[in-house]
Structure 1
């Protein structure tokens, strides 16, 4: 212990009183904020009415000093007027070309080739990808623009779940049962049955293939209407989880072709909700199984954006949603949540507003990617370098591990 003389002690006391004592050097460790220029274009994909930022989401971002450009009428289908956006701090732009010059582009549908041509390059694109509907030329065109791209379907949250997939699947699962009910009724040329159960009348039979979020939502909705529900999946764990989450006894079975085929013979509704993540598309229900289904029964293939669960499925649109094959109604619209565009938009905005805030709180995106594994998992291209091995294998393009790239940059 150091001892001081009376004169030294008095001097130190004086320095303390006057605030002149030497202090430890304090390094700035706070986050460095930057202003983002975010562009939200109007969706040109037919029947796509969702928008990834609501007026409240815009207000959250502009209050942090970010600039948000919204293309005129981008939110119209979801019943968000231009005035709603401008009142919350957005700049309304009539020229889509101006939107695509922003540093960050946030949209719902994948970019089209024409939209990629409008990009200035070296930008961050946040959108869905629907990789099975793209091509090697599409991926290479993005690479040539030195794009960093985040796919809705690959993005994870702090709980290691897929927030966009989860929320859209929840909406799609619930909506699928309501849609099936419409096509069972006389209103759309159905066989005139009500989906559910009425006292004294045999309840409808609903088969749900896939025990994920969409399947669980579909099963819960059908169960609530009084239908007799059977759920099939390859995973016993997922079936148990669904059973526990629903809280009621539901018939569950591991997918076995003979058992599934017998169940489909008496089904009024079949929901295809089996999701594939970075796997080759494959159908679960063969055409022969569909042939054996009752005439007038309804198939809703939620998984059509990944190839579909049914061999007979073909992509349809909201404007022309159904076709009949072997006497069975097929509804194979890829973006079912767009039927309830406003609800879906609120959900998307709740996910992406905080993400954009976090991006703005770092000096560069790479700093956030190094610490945020969920956001990093959403990256399938970084500065023009493909980082998703599945996409690379699918289209014969070499890819590099994003974790190795982060170490290099």
Structure 2
């Protein structure tokens, strides 16, 4: 289970703001010992409601020692400082994708702009666990940092969880709600899963990453097969599915391209080393489009940060958290405090709020391809993937 780690907690009679990078796959309020509090820099106040800002940790385990990033740098520098995997750039499989992606630096610059929304949140959680920051680049490969996409196999979200694995790691899926598309919860669940896989394969991150793609059973069977023949059992020598054989090199190519962006003509998006997102606890149904419009903000942007609410109206019985731009936390808190609970009937058609993609390449679904239709295909896709991995 992921422990929610937050570095600013603002409590009011209505809402609490989790500012920063608490990633939790437990959508209920955590039951923990009372933490020790210290003052933090964020002080959000609402009219007529007293608030107090604290620095809080929800983890019972001692936090791992971390190297402090350069406070004057940006999040990308923090990523580069945390790289821990060996350099495999000389591998032909990696060079193939370095060359392929490197031919279009503008596209990579655009991808880095999309990543900038979530990168600090992910890196913060990776750092908190003392994991290699190469893992923070995995959404480049999985979803191109789009939290609202489905793959052809029914995987969803930034980290592309298939339904059964998502459920196993606490990502609830119901009509009108899909926690696999919650960037905070899914990040916590993905890192949980990756840590488990890394332990399964004795600390070999390349094998863990391969297993994240095609399943630990398939990877272990290939290891056993090679071992029985006296062959090497590292990732590069296993007979894995084509997608998996390309999956790890793609990640390593993104590592090379981002670390040496200037060499390849890539302009990484300006990403200050500070939180861009906050989490707002709201215990009533809220129409996100209405909230944004009343606050004078871009409604589509607020909707895009919360694709797990498939109709654009929050469902507190599934999750009482809203993701929002940190810079607008105070204004949105004030608006929500004045609004009555939203009616589910106000949602209208789901596609008006959250457009679905049907493939990992971002191909848009037609208006007739709504959530209910995609959902009916998820179980068959899961069964198909299990057969492929068998």
Using the size of structure 2 for normalisation, the TM-score is 0.25
Which structure shows the higher strand fraction? 1
Q: Greater Rg, structure 1 or structure 2?
A: 1
Which structure shows the higher helix fraction? 2
Using the size of structure 1 for normalisation, the TM-score is 0.25
